[in-house]
Amino acid sequence: VYGAKGFRTQNLDAMASEGMKFTDFYVGSPVCSPSRAALLTGCYPQRVGIPGVLFPERLNTEWDPEQRRTKTGINPNETTMAEMLKANGYATGVFGKWHLGHHKQFLPLQQGFDEYYGLPYSNDMRPGRNAKTAKSPYPGLPMMNGNEVDHFMNDDQSMLTKEYTEKAVDFIKRNKDNPFFVYLPHSMPHIPLYASEKFNGQSEKGIYGDVIEEIDWSVGQINKVLKDLDLEDNTLVIFTCDNGPWLIFGEHGGSARPLREGKFTTFEGGQRVPCIMKWPNMIAKASVTSEMASTIDLLPTIAAITGSDLPQNKIDGLDISGLLSGIETTSPRDEFFFYKGWQLEAIRSENWKLHLPHGYSHVIKSDSGNVYGMENIKSEIELSLFDLSKDVGETKNVAEQYPEVVKSLLQKIEAKIEELGDDEASGSEKRPSGWQKEFEAWPFENGV
């Protein structure tokens, strides 16, 4: 339903025909950890102190602790979507990739989830990955069950999508008589790519297409169990992802065409993603909206739908439940800010997108598949204004033609920088991440 070719998505297509497809939906970051923090807290990730990807490298005497790579995670003082719903009587479960801190105080059971099964970070963060350049070797890839390591993954990840899905379906069945919240963040299509035997080699798009077809199957399994248990009419189902395609991996990375660039960038291809929502009798069938919305809007929207209390800490999300129900025709979100790391790089307001001057990596070679080290070129963009209603690919800079628009957007940017900052030292409303003062050992392979 978003125009992709080479693989079949009959379950997602059916979901769109039964619900609402968003064309202008944004994630909080062009990379995974901050994007997931934004989704679960309803905040720009800079507000909650997770501006970049968290890594599990072993701490040793050669590692600079000031880089904070092994000691950070989601601040336990933040209220997650799971904590909000659990306080309202919901059973909560997460099955899949977490990537918001792998030490105990950061894991899901300490963030409002009753159950957790999955990998604590990306499926490529395993022994041997980037071995020539890594300052410290990666530990074994641990499959977590609650707070404990269930087992260490070998090089075969072909059953991950199926296993996560079966765990989520089982959770739904066990909680069919209770209000429940299921968070199912699949490890793939993050590389490395694997599909189970049933899907391996079945698409026209190689292993990437196989992976997407299996994720589509997963969506179908979730919707099927809801229908079988007569829960469909009372359940909101949301499908989206955490960032744009990893273009440097070529055919293994996906595509955001006609959007510009992909993962790691604040262009549309990095943060505008698919989103489909289904809720029979509440969301009109086959509805399509070009209104702006974001993953940071999900927490306040779900709070409104469920009658849950919002977090006491300030959030950035807005309630779009009226847009879902059709009571409102416009979204309350009329602007969105694009950060990479601590730097504010762009703003969208209505159909205008203004980029401040910033650097980015542009992929110039993409034919090596599922291996690291493909080529890209460091590029720069000047102060640039794009009219997304006419130029979704961000190709024609019209800043000189619309100086008043540029001036207005720069004022909005200045106000946001005053609030959240655009470097690590500034920003009055920025809250700290979960900084672990003393290193806590975990039973990973070879010690950690």
Cα 297 from Cα 316, distance rounded (Å): 8
Short-list 307, 89, 97, CA closest to 181: 89
Please pick, among 43, 99, 103, 355, the residue that the annotation labels catalytic. Answer: 99
- Is 241 an annotated catalytic residue? no
DSSP 362: E
Task: For residue 416, give the H/E element and its range.
Answer: helix 403-420
The total number of residues written for the chain in this structure: 448
Burial (CB < 10 A; 0-12, 13-18, 19+), residue 65, is exposed
How crowded is residue 10: how many other Cβ atoms within 10 Å of its Cβ? 12
Q: Read off the DSSP letter of residue 356.
A: P
Does 32 participate in catalysis according to the annotation? yes
Three-state SS letters, 31-47: CHHHHHHHHHHCCCCCC
The amino acid at residue 403 is P
Let me know: does 216 contact 243? Beta carbons within 8 Å: no
Q: What would the two tokens of residue 90 be?
A: 């919901």
Helices 206-228 & 10-18 angle (0-180, nearest 10): 50
Q: Are 124 and 190 in contact (CB under 8 A)?
A: yes
Residue spans of beta strands (DSSP E) within 8-83: 20-26
Active site residues: 32, 99
